[in-house]
Amino acid sequence: MGYVIVGALVLSGIVQLSIGIYVIVQSNRGKNLWFSCLAIAASVYSFGYAFELTAQTVRQALVYVRIEYLGIAFLPTLGLLTALEFTGKRWSPSSKPAIAMLAFSALTLVGMHTTAFHRLYYADLVLTRVGALTIVQITRGPWYTASRTYSNLMLVLGAVVVVRSIVTAPADLKSGHWLFLAGFALMGLSSNACAAGLSPCGVDLTPYGFMAMNVLFLIGLSPGQVFDVVSIAKSRVFDGMDDIVVIIDRSNRVAGYNPALHQIIPELGSDYVGEPLRAVFDKHPEITEFAATHWDGEADIALSDGSGRVFRARVRTVGRNSRRGGTRVVAKYLTMTDISKEMNMVRAMKDLADLDALTGIANRRSFYDQIEQLIGGQRAGCPIAVILMDIDHFKAVNDTYGHKAGDIVLQAIASLLSQNTRAQDILARYGGEEFILAIPDMGVGGAVAMAERLRMSINAFEEIYEGQSIKATASFGVACDTTGPGFDMESLIKNADTALYEAKSSGRDSVVMR
């Protein structure tokens, strides 16, 4: 029986050493570092204890116990760090909490190795024989009790970390967390069984508990398992993304999605996996059309629900290598980023560039841009008129009532002009107190009549500012032409300006046609 126990310990050490090496080889860039260290430390414990059970003298036993403690001293710390690593809260070796915990473990190791001088760890050590086995009986010192308390504290904290993670873990990952928790439970039971005197023949069952725990941990970390630590991290990143992500299979059915989908589907609650794309986005056919008809592409999609929201949508393929060579497309994924704020900002910036800051109507630059588009879309021979207007004696308004009053007058007259023009007409502030109006498809008679109506509207205008009445009149210059070969907008505007000059020279508050 004794040889079986020792052989099992050696086998346990080999298994755990293999696990530690395997995890190091399978991981990259330091991932799963704590778990690999845990497995290797537990293997040292198992090998040392196997030799301890065969010791013939106290001196030999103490040598083997010291070997054991190269692993034992660090196991509680590594257990908690592994739990944090598994649940996505990994502490790096350079972090202050990890350094503090490792320092405590190192202090325990030093205390045990120097216990012959201070008796703080083992007050005494004697050997007893149980069949072919040598059982070391110890008299515990105060530091041993402190170390034991620390071990149980780390065990409880590790279990708490895993339990808390179980609560928030996705449903398909919970089984892996339970497996991890079971490993902690087995290790705790085996560790405390010996301390309570419940182990058979007085044999320490802790190394076997660590082997069971590490095997369970390995299953949880094996590549391809749904509860792989990397998968957990990816799942949390996927679920925490602000961007909408929808995975679509080759039949245009939803294979997966993240919670951000509620940005478009507020009533998100049903499981849409397996549902046709058109059923999921039944209220947004523009999304379905883009995602279903593209394998790789990008587009800005304005939702048709009247919300004014715009999403930048991207479709990318997901492929895998085929045994026959090449890549076989197995799915595609749709990502959608809400760019409504950016689009509103672009529109606001365009308005700042195109609109007059004071009056809110088009500025001079925007007027010429609109004229260029208008002329480009006109057929040859279409009439077009330009009305240039200037507020009479506007300097006197500023001098008498102040520039604030002058600004109010300009705003009011701009509003009056906007209300008395057609949607297809182009109205702009041309500079200072001058306004310009381009009127497509209107001949001489209509343009003069419109200018006269505008003049009379301004005559009827009155602004009350700080209890004082401000009235205004305006002079108008009108010019007309037809589009086609030889048409020149600048010449037309120059003719309207000449007519305006004549109106002002002839007494103002009049309309002159040229």
| 87 CB burial (10 A radius; 0-12, 13-18, 19+) | buried
For the stretch 487-507, pLDDT in tens is 899 999 999 999 999 999 999
> Can you give the pLDDT at residue 225?
36
Using DSSP, state whether 130 is helix, strand or coil: strand
Do 108 and 163 belong together in one domain? yes
Q: Are 82 and 217 in contact (CB under 8 A)?
A: yes
Q: Which pLDDT belongs to residue 220?
A: 62
Domain count of the fold of the chain: 3
Mean pLDDT for the stretch of residues 250-260: 87
- Compute the average pLDDT of residues 26-54: 81
pLDDT of 228 reads: 47
Residue 321 pLDDT level (bands cut at 50, 70, 90): low
List pLDDT tens digits, range 268-294: 566 788 888 988 898 899 999 999 888
Query: How confident is residue 226, by pLDDT bands cut at 50, 70 and 90?
Result: very low
DSSP 136: E
Within a domain: residue 88? Answer: yes
Residue 124: per-residue pLDDT:
80
**Which of the two residues, 400 and 171, has the higher pLDDT score?**
400
CATH number for position 469: 3.30.70.270
β-strand 474-482 against 511-513: which pairing, if any?
Answer: parallel
Q: Which residue has the higher pLDDT, 163 or 231?
A: 163
Residues 6+ apart with CB under 8 A from 344: none
15-29, 242-256, 353-367, 397-411: segment of lowest average pLDDT? 15-29
Among candidate residues 193, 228, 263, the one where a domain is terminated: 228
Instruction: Say whether pLDDT at 235 is over 80.
Output: no
Provide the residue range defining the domain that includes 409: 356-513
What pLDDT is attached to residue 131?
A: 73
Residue 197 scores a pLDDT above 50: yes
The CATH number assigned to the domain holding 300 equals 3.30.450.20
Does 416 lie in the same domain as 300? Answer: no
Task: Measure the CA–CA gap between 459 and 411, rounded to whole angstroms.
Answer: 16
- Is the pLDDT at 210 greater than 60? The verdict is yes
Q: State the Cα–Cα distance between residues 205 and 489, nearest whole angstrom.
A: 98
Indicate whether 51 and 131 sit together in one domain: yes
Residue ending a domain, choose from 228, 254, 274: 228
pLDDT tens readout for residues 467-493? 999 999 999 999 999 988 888 999 999
Amino acid at position 192, single letter: N
| DSSP secondary structure, 205-223, as one string | -HHHHHHHHHHHHHHHHST
User: Is 197 contained in some domain?
Assistant: yes
CA-to-CA dists, residue 80 to 143, 150, 183, 285, 468, angstroms: 21, 11, 12, 50, 81
Does 220 fall in a domain?
A: yes
Residue 395: pLDDT over 60: yes
% pLDDT > 90, the chain: 38
pLDDT at 222 exceeding the cut of 50: no
Whether 349 is covered by a domain: the verdict is no
Q: pLDDT at position 224, please?
A: 38
Identify which has the larger pLDDT, 430 or 322.
Answer: 430
Average pLDDT score over residue span 318-322: 66
Same domain, 435 and 363: yes
Does residue 371 form part of some domain? yes
Task: Verify that 414 and 311 share a domain, yes or no.
Answer: no
Confidence class of residue 326 from pLDDT cuts 50, 70 and 90?
A: low
* Confidence bin at 133 (pLDDT 50/70/90): confident
Q: Give yes or no: residues 340 and 361 share one domain.
A: no
Query: Within a 13 Å sphere around the CA of 252, how many CA atoms are in the beta-carbon half?
Result: 15
- Would you state the structure tokens that stand for residue 170, as one six-digit string? 């996705």
Closest among 83, 86, 105 to 160, alpha carbons compared: 83
Q: Kindly report which listed range (114-118, 121-125, 266-270, 301-305) carries the lowest average pLDDT score.
A: 266-270
30-39, 112-121, 274-283: segment of lowest average pLDDT: 30-39
Q: What is the C-alpha separation between 501 and 495, in angstroms, rounded?
A: 10
Sequence-distant (≥ 6) Cβ neighbours of residue 324 within 8 angstroms: none
Cα 497 from Cα 371, distance rounded (Å): 17
Are 147 and 206 members of one domain?
A: yes
Task: Count the residues in the chain.
Answer: 514
Q: Which of 420, 414, 433, 416 is nearest to 355 (CA)?
A: 414
- For the chain, percent of residues with pLDDT exceeding 70: 90
Mean residue pLDDT of the chain comes to 85
**Same structural domain, 313 and 451:** no
**Euclidean distance between CA atoms 156 and 148, whole angstroms:** 13
Same domain assignment for residues 192 and 109: yes
Q: Is residue 26 a part of any domain in this protein?
A: yes
Whether 236 maps to a domain, the answer reads no
Q: Are residues 160 and 301 in the same domain?
A: no
The string of DSSP codes covering 311-376 is EEEEEEEEEEE-TTSSEEEEEEEEEEEE-HHHHHHHHHHHHHHHB-TTTSSB-HHHHHHHHHHHHH
Residue-level pLDDT at 62: 86
The reply to whether 105 and 36 lie within a common domain is yes
* List of residues 6+ apart from 328 with CB closer than 8 A: 319, 320, 321, 322
Output 331 or 450, whichever has higher pLDDT. 450
422 and 377 in a single domain? The answer is yes
Overall average pLDDT of the 86-97 stretch: 79
Check residue 85 and give its pLDDT: 80
Last residue of a domain, one of 344, 375, 405: 344
Predicted confidence at residue 374, as pLDDT, reads 87
In a domain, 304, yes or no: yes
- What is the DSSP annotation of 269-284? -S--TTSBHHHHTTT-
Q: What are the tens digits of pLDDT across the range 349-390?
A: 776 778 898 999 999 999 999 998 888 877 888 999 999 999
Report the CATH number that the domain containing residue 12 is assigned in CATH: 1.20.1070.10
- pLDDT band of residue 227 (cuts 50, 70, 90) is very low
Closest CA to 457 of 511, 407, 384: 511
